[in-house]
Amino acid sequence: MTKAKNTVFTIIMLLVPVLFFVLLEIGLRIFGGYQQEPLVVKTHKNGKEVYQINQNIARRYFDPNKVNVPAAAPETFNAHKTASTFRIFCLGGSTTAGFPFDCQVSFPQQLRYLLQNSYPRYRFEVINLGISAVNSYTVLDLLPDVLELQPDLILVYMGHNEFYGAYGSASSFALPGSDQFIRFYLKLQKLHTIQFLQSIVSLFSISESTPKKKNLSLMAAVVQDQQIAWRSENYQKTMQVFSNNLEIILNSCCRAKEPVIMSNLVSNIRDLKPFSANIKRAGANTGDGLAIAYSLFNAKNYTASAEAYRQLLGTDASDAGLWFNLGKSYIGLGDSVQALQALTEAKDRDQVRFRAAEDANLIIKTLASETNASFIDMQTRFAAHAQHGLIGDDLICNHLHPNPNGYYLMAKAFYEQIQSLNMLNGLDSTFFVQDKPYFVTDLDWDIGLLKIFEMVNSWPFEEKNVTFDDYKAYGEPKAAEIARNYLFEENIWSRAHYKMADAFIKQKAFEKARLEYLAVSVFVPEDSYPYNRVAKTYEYEGRWRAREIFLKKELQYSPARGMVWYQIAMAQFKQKQYRNASQSMLNALKERDLNQKERLNARWHLAGFYYEANQVDQAISILKGILRDIPNFTPAKSFLQKIAKLQQ
């Protein structure tokens, strides 16, 4: 009996803590405490129930007490998917997000514009889930939530952040243990109890260095181990983790029968010296040989400098800086094939691992093939548009983020791949796909370039003593001024574009003003105001047909439909389209938003339109109706007298 009692007692003692945590979990769920950040929240927009991406979703992976948590774009999409909706989720890191540019520049936004204008029978929702400083662990964690939201297609662009992104092997947010343990931990985080315990640990783990960490750029704050040698043990382990995570992601999508398009990764290899070359190294290649090679290159003796760098690499093939200089020598010789090989070797051997090595690209291509995911060779597409066929500053704005032209190349690549999969029908062949991004202006360029100006002049880039006052405008000087005000004071993107448009209108540069308004329309296509302002610029120029077109665009989304119909009628009258103007004004009078004075003016103009269209009886009827309601309305009396005289 004693042994049996001891066994029962032992079991009870073991179950007590389990029962405690079960009850704690139930209690926290009942009272809604310490819930994990959801991917989406429900809200209302224009009277419809919609989902909105939770801006704070990255708090799942970053402690806000320790770092400035990157925000997700608060995009909205219908909570109730319709038959005409085609929903695309774009997953990845800061490149997917569109960093450092804002709003309509990112490839998901440009892609949505291309698709919507090419296939008007659909309503495209291209939802940008790009978050800075995240990697394959994050995408894997978000995937179940994404699959529940009924995507029609998933686009994946990731791989640069495997070392320094959240839970990466060299990240300041790394976790000990295997990748299996980290994936298990991410699942545990869905429990309210784990969130509760995390909050307690966070409070007690804030150190004196935390404020310093929060003052760093996100790029610097996430780095723990600055240097990881190519093909080292840590490097190999991280590549294997990336492969494991990506395989799980693709297999999960395959089981859910969700099509996936993914691409390999691009980065600046031509114009960016390896980050590790900025770190002083003791040992090989610091003597006369390096100085000689450098002087030969500066003298444009590229044949001799290439040979000198090859000899130096014979003693230390791990030196990324030597490979980079060798590649630049080959560019001087006009040998782009050899240059590509050398510059790729430089990128792969860069021990500060912000740019993905070619091993990551090989993993992406191999797994896409094994899981029947659709693959895009983005590197080849970028190289085809790059100087010397080598990706550099003409398409990349820093080490790996495309500039607006590069982001548009990505959008076109995904667009063409979607077309090749025959997922859509009803192509509008009249839509012209242009070779440059849609409605991206100098202001957009300045916003992005100004945002990273200090970053690209500090670690891990070559450090220079600069301030924002040293920034040179990309194009229009006024654009840089407005961009600076937007970034550091006002922070309302649409208003910045409207300010830029106002400046152009004062100069009577109406075409440039229209581009600013249309930039906003790409990002918020259901906002009527940009179309209204474009129509106004055409009124200034007396271009009534163009004004009518954009008023009809405004009409689709404006709550003040009566006034928009009124303005359409007036534009048609200016074109002497009297019958069309009459019908449009009748449409205006059917709407409820016109006030009493506006309604009277609409009836008065309608009588005039009927008269000009030789529908005199209708004109007389309208005028008599006005006088019944307002007997002393002199203009109607005068008009009737004029008609009577003409008839006599």
Together in a domain, 238 and 314: no
Question: Percentage of the chain surpassing pLDDT 90?
Answer: 76
13 vs 385, more confident: 385
Pick from 67-76, 410-419, 446-455: least confident: 67-76
Residues 533-552, mean pLDDT to the nearest whole number: 97
Q: 1 lies in a domain?
A: no
Average pLDDT, the chain: 90
Residues 6+ apart with CB under 8 A from 238: 162, 163, 168, 169, 170, 228
Q: In total, how many domains does the chain have? A: 3
Pick the residue with more confidence: 440 or 459? 440
Q: How confident is the model at residue 282 (pLDDT cuts 50, 70, 90)?
A: very low
Q: Residue count of the chain, please give it.
A: 648
According to the model, what pLDDT value does residue 18 have?
57
Task: Please determine, for residue 168, whether its predicted confidence score (pLDDT) is greater than 60.
Answer: yes
Give tens-digit pLDDT for 580-603.
999 999 999 999 999 999 999 999
Whether the predicted pLDDT of 351 surpasses 70: yes
**Pair (291, 150) in one structural domain:** no
Within a domain: 599: yes
Q: Are residues 371 and 292 in the same domain?
A: no
How much is the pLDDT for 114? 97
Q: State the average pLDDT over residues 449-455.
A: 94
What does the H/E/C string look like for 509-557? Answer: CHHHHHHHHHHHHHHCCCCCHHHHHHHHHHHHHCCHHHHHHHHHHHHCC
Residue 82 lies in a domain: yes
- Considering the domain architecture, whether residues 554 and 596 belong to the same structural domain is answered as yes
Please say if the pLDDT value at position 23 is more than 70: no
Pair 422, 547 in one domain:
no
Whole-angstrom CA distances from 371 to 364, 365, 366, 376, 590 are 11, 10, 9, 14, 57
Domain with residue 404: its CATH number is 3.40.50.1110
Split at pLDDT 50, 70, 90, the class of 283 is very low
pLDDT digits (tens, 9 = 90+) for 395-438: 999 999 999 999 999 999 999 999 999 999 999 999 999 999 99
Is 213 found in the same domain as 328?
no
- 121 in a structural domain: yes
The residue out of 385, 418, 438 marking a domain boundary is 438
Buried b (16+ CB within 10 A) or exposed e, 485-515: ebbeeeeebbebbbbbbebbbeeeebebbbb
Same domain, 253 and 136: yes
pLDDT at 15: 59
What pLDDT is recorded for position 278?
74
Residue 26 belongs to a domain:
no
Range of lowest pLDDT (199-203, 316-320, 378-382): 199-203
Judge whether 614 lies within some domain: yes
**DSSP class of 486:** I
Tokens of 37: 């950040």
Is 289 domain-assigned? yes
Q: Are residues 260 and 281 in the same domain?
A: no
Please compute the mean of the pLDDT values over residues 364-368 and round it to a whole number.
Answer: 97
Sign of CA dihedral 517, 521, 523, 529: positive
Domain boundary among 348, 372, 392: 348
Considering the domain architecture, whether residues 56 and 70 belong to the same structural domain is answered as yes
Dist. CA 328–CA 478, nearest whole Å: 36
What is the pLDDT at residue 267? 97
End-to-end CA distance of the chain: 125
Query: In CATH, what number is assigned to the domain containing residue 619?
Result: 1.25.40.10
User: Which residue type, as a one-letter code, is found at position 78?
Assistant: N
Residues 279 and 154 in one domain: no
How would residue 288 be classed by pLDDT, with cut points 50, 70 and 90? confident
* pLDDT tens digits along 464-508: 888 888 999 999 999 999 999 999 998 899 999 999 999 999 999
The DSSP bridge partners found for residue 372 are none
For residue 570, the model assigns a pLDDT of: 97
Q: Please report the pLDDT score of residue 13 as a whole number.
A: 59
Q: Do 383 and 525 lie in a common domain?
A: no
Per-position b or e across 548-581, b if 16+ CB within 10 A of its CB: bbbbbbbbebbebbbbbbbbbbbbbbbeebbebb
Mean pLDDT calculated for residue range 549-559 = 95
Q: What's residue 531's pLDDT?
A: 97
Domain encompassing residue 308: 275-348
Nearest to 443 by CA among 400, 387, 490: 490
Residue 516 predicted with pLDDT over 80: yes
User: Are residues 614 and 595 part of one domain?
Assistant: yes
Q: pTM here?
A: 0.90
Specify if 383 maps to a domain: yes
SS (H, E, C) 367-388: HHHHCCCEEECHHHHHHHHCHH
Domain end, chosen from 348, 372, 389, is at 348
Question: Is residue 207 pLDDT above 60, yes or no?
Answer: no
